Structures are given as structure tokens and as C-alpha cells.
Amino acid sequence: MRYAILSDVHGNLPALQAVLDDLAGRAVDALLYLGDAVGYYADSCAVAERLAECVAPRSCSGLAAPQRPWVAGNHEWGAIGRLAPQLFSPAALFALKHIRADMPAATRELLAGLPERLEIELDAGLVATLVHASPADPVGATGAGYVENGEDAREAAQFFSTQICLVGHTHCPLICREAAEQRPGRPRWEAAEIFDDRPPGNRLVFGSERLLFNPGSVGQPRDGDPRAAYAVLDTTARAFELWRVAYDIAETQARLRAWLSDAPAALLDARGGLAERLSRGI
């Protein structure tokens, strides 16, 4: 099986469309989604509806049909009023208010029904835990659930028991693996260096070690590369592949300005604003 792994689209429909077009050439069998379909950009509801079509229910063990392999993120909970407003930045909160005002009942129902975590048998004997933020804080409801390096992965490993854990939330691609040589009582985790954007440097082949993997963000990358990020997990080759896709950033920025026309300029176009940061991938 070949799984596409996507996360953090955040209402950026041009980025999602570019990734789905790119996926058409990668012989993928199914799509896993790690949360935050909504938030920040102009097309949250359209993105949620598009993902509902693509992230199809399938009969994995541990996944009750018709459950989709899509876990809730903090912005999904923000959009349905399940998280306190203080947990969001002023720009995120401004966007969430508009999203809530525009959201059809069916989209709200879809978001409200998303699970906080899933365990899925991806292939015979290969099981993955899916969460948005971290296995200790699945949805990112505390504001502290960021897994950013090997040390964070070592902490996180106490909260999942499967071989693989898939997370999003930081908007930066990351692969951490449990190191072969162990000190008793303190397993060591290290970040793998595979971040070229094309083969073979974008590919990590794994064995029986435990892994934590973040595909980066489709809609708002924060690792300095403005292109949309996603990943493919090939369970036969036992490999993760990271991919980057250029998309029409100016279109997303224009749609944002039209949608949030009542926003203070600083929220959109000042340095670090929602539109400006897309050009820099931060």
C-alpha cells in the first residue's frame, strides 16, 4: 500500500489542489489526514469538503467503518468552539470568527465528528498512531503539544505503543527514529536527515525501529520553503518520501485579502502577517 499523508491545509485551496494534482502521478492507494483543514486562509469549508471526498473511509483494523482516517486539529476544535480563544494568535482568531460565521451545518457536523487519535493497521503487522499535535496532547489543546526534535520524540514515544506515530501541527517536516544502540531505561531518539526535495534524498527506508513522522504543512509551511509539503508512506518498500509542490501563492494571498477585507492590515501584510508569511514559508 502507498499512503499519501497530508496535514495543515488551513483553508489554502490552491495549495491543496496543487498537492492533489501532484499525487495523481504517485500511485497512491489512500490518503491519511492529520488535522487543521481549516483556519487562516479563505477556503476552509471548501477544503474540508474536498478532504471529506479524498480521505475516504476504508476498512483498516482499529478503524470503525465509516470512519475516515482524519484526526482533529486545534483549528478544527477552534472552529466549532471546543477550544478557548486565548489559545489562538490574533490572526488565527480573526480568521476563525469568519469561518464560524460562514460554516454550513454539514461542515460543522463533519468537524465535530473527527476523532482525537486513531490507530490504523496500514499493512500486515504495521500499525500507526495518528494524532494532530502529539500523542501526549493529541489535538494540541494545551498549546504545548509540539514535537520538534529527537528529544521531543523520545518524550512522545511514552504515549504511543505502535511502531509508527504520524503527527502534524508544527508545519515543519520531521522524521525521528529510535536509535539502534540503547542505554537501559533511556531509549535515544534522533532526527533523520532526509530533507532534500527530490529523490533519493527525500526518502527514508526503515526497518523494525519505532518512528515518528511529520509530513509538514500543505497550506502554510514554516520551514523556510514556501512550497506545499506532503509525504508518501510505502508499506511494501517500508519507506517514507517527502515531497514539495509549488503552487500559486499570489492567488491564496488575493483570496485571503478579499475574504478578510475588514482585517487590520497588520494581520495580513505586515512582516509575519497571514499573507506575507506564505511568500517566505515561515
**Residues 202-241 vs Zn ion: string with x where CB under 5 A?**
----------------------------------------
C-alpha cell at 214: 511529520
- CB 190, min distance to Zn ion, A: 25
CB 213 within 8 A of CB 252: no
Of residues 1 through 20, those in contact with Zn ion by CB under 5 A are: 8
- CB 276, min distance to Zn ion, A: 18
d(CA 72, CA 82): 11
Toward Zn ion, which CB reaches closer, 43 or 234? 43
Does 36 interact with Zn ion (rule: CB under 5 A)?
yes
Q: How many CB atoms lie within 10 A of CB 154?
A: 19
- CB 237, min distance to Zn ion, A: 29
> What are the residues whose beta carbons fall under 8 Å from the beta carbon of 183, sequence distance 6 or more?
none
Q: How many CB atoms lie within 10 A of CB 43?
A: 25
- CB 200, min distance to Zn ion, A: 29
Count Cβ atoms within 10 A of the Cβ of residue 167 and give its class: 0-12 exposed, 13-18 middle, 19 or more buried: buried
Q: Interface with Zn ion by CB under 5 A: which range of 35-43, 79-87, 88-96, 185-193?
A: 35-43
Q: Interface with Zn ion by CB under 5 A: which range of 33-41, 156-164, 246-254, 259-267?
A: 33-41
Q: Interface with Zn ion by CB under 5 A: which range of 34-42, 57-65, 185-193, 272-280?
A: 34-42
Q: Interface with Zn ion by CB under 5 A: which range of 29-37, 60-68, 136-144, 179-187?
A: 29-37
Q: What's 239's DSSP letter?
A: E
Sheet-wide strand order for 126-131: 117-123, 126-131, 164-166, 211-214, 174-178, 189-191
Query: Applying CB under 5 A, which residues contact Zn ion?
Result: 8, 36
